[in-house]
Chain A
Amino acid sequence: MISPHGGKLVERFDFSERAKEEAMELPKLSITIDEARDLGNIGHGVFSPLEGYMAREDFENVLTEGRLSNDLPWTIPIVKDVSDKDVDMLFKEDEVTLVYNNTPIAILKVEEVYPYDKKEYAEKVFGTKSIEHPGVANLMKKEDHLVGGKITLLNNPPTQFPNYKLWPKETRVLFKERGWKTVVGFQTRNAPHVGHEYVQKTALTFVDGLFINPLIGKKKKGDFKDEVIIAAYEALFEHYYPKNTATLGILETEMRYAGPREAIFHAIMRKNFGCTHFIVGRDHAGVGNFYGPYDAQEIFYDYPDLGITPLFFRSFFYCKKCGTVVNEKICPHGPEYHVNFSGTKIRELLLKGERPPEIMMRPEVADTILRFENPFVE
């Protein structure tokens, strides 16, 4: 089995009643649902080797080097912002309880409180300071200080999909039980069209198992709703995948839209789930025109020590002359023969209540999506 990132799967939780009671005696900080989800990710090792929020040294090293201070690859800051009012309180306290919706989610052992430069953060992580970028816009709304320190998870964050919620320990046991020595991870925030299926099946040809890992969390208007993505994959698995070659489990964390840096982060999380390979397609984790189409593949050449093998794919399309789904590496015909799997086109048809053509989307998948009154985030 592949090593977790940093060599050890982090487990930082104490679900005992005593721990929860003690936590209620501590000062409290309110957190959002996305922060609660990421505390779950820290506590259960999705973010291994992180044991909490980054202190200044790691945070600054991640910005400047794309690595933790011990040189381990890490590209996205995992931090908690705090208001000026909370800064005063945190300077006096050793521990605070992080609370979501009146539920104590974790205890934070306060190690350091520090200011940070949002513009530098934006430039280094997102490659832009433009507030047109959703990740930058989100960052600019954050408070001006960060708090670093280890956490202990007290309650798992709430989830809408408990039947698909797997933590790294569980996926590692699952892969082992299925006899999968090599597993390819597929990150998605979309319902599957035929192009996705070809990418997945091409990768699956060379490994033992496929782990579809949809990202559930804050999304943009017009994205597929989470429940639609899951139902669509259930239909695809039922009709088009051999039993026991593919499995589905959700990952609850927000999209940062940080393009290349987020591609590395996505690969690290899948390594922790036990994947040996990770699919990186065109404009992975990108948004608008902020990144070049293959920037998210290029960045992997800076990380020979990542410990998970990226599989790079060009976009697939249908070629009328070849009579099948191909990509530019294997099809000699001109664009006049090509039908692209346009997300916009598929969305338009689904919104009109129409099935996209079968060369774009499997009918069983389309019918599943059409059963939802509105399959898209409003």
Chain B
Amino acid sequence: MVEDKKYTTVSIPTPLFKKIEERIKGTGFTSVSSYVTYVLREIIAEDEESEEAFSKEDEERVKERLRALGYLD
């Protein structure tokens, strides 16, 4: 089961693998896997979705407190 393992295998074209091998020479990346993981994490993070955390009423309550504390005029 994939879910039970910390790492799993994905397939990429061999020429791409070789290009990455060349690219990471002399960099801090120790393997093609670590490079691919880095790039994928970066891309996934860009697509991170956010839920609206609070309602209009909530926001008004917060503004009231911020005014009372002197943070807002």
Contacts and interface: CB of A to CB of B under 8 A. Distances in A.
B53 A11 contact: yes
B50 A7 contact: yes
Interface string B38-73: 110110110011110110001100110110011110
Given A163-B69, A169-B58, A177 B49 contact: no
Given A170-B66, A177-B72, A304 B50 contact: no
Contact of B50 (A3, A166, A301, A305): A3
A301 B28 contact: yes
Contact of A173 (B6, B49, B63, B69): B63
Interface class of chain B by DSSP? helix
A173 B50 contact: no
A346 interface: no
Interface residues of B, number: 24
Interface in A294-316: 301, 304-307
Interface of B: 6, 28, 38-39, 41-42, 44-45, 48-51, 53-54, 58-59, 62-63, 65-66, 69-72
Interface of A: 1, 3-4, 7-9, 11, 45, 61, 65, 71, 163, 166, 169-170, 172-174, 177, 247, 301, 304-307
19 contacts: A1-B50, A3-B48, A3-B50, A4-B50, A8-B51, A8-B53, A11-B53, A71-B41, A163-B69, A169-B53, A169-B62, A170-B62, A170-B65, A173-B59, A177-B63, A304-B39, A304-B41, A305-B41, A305-B45
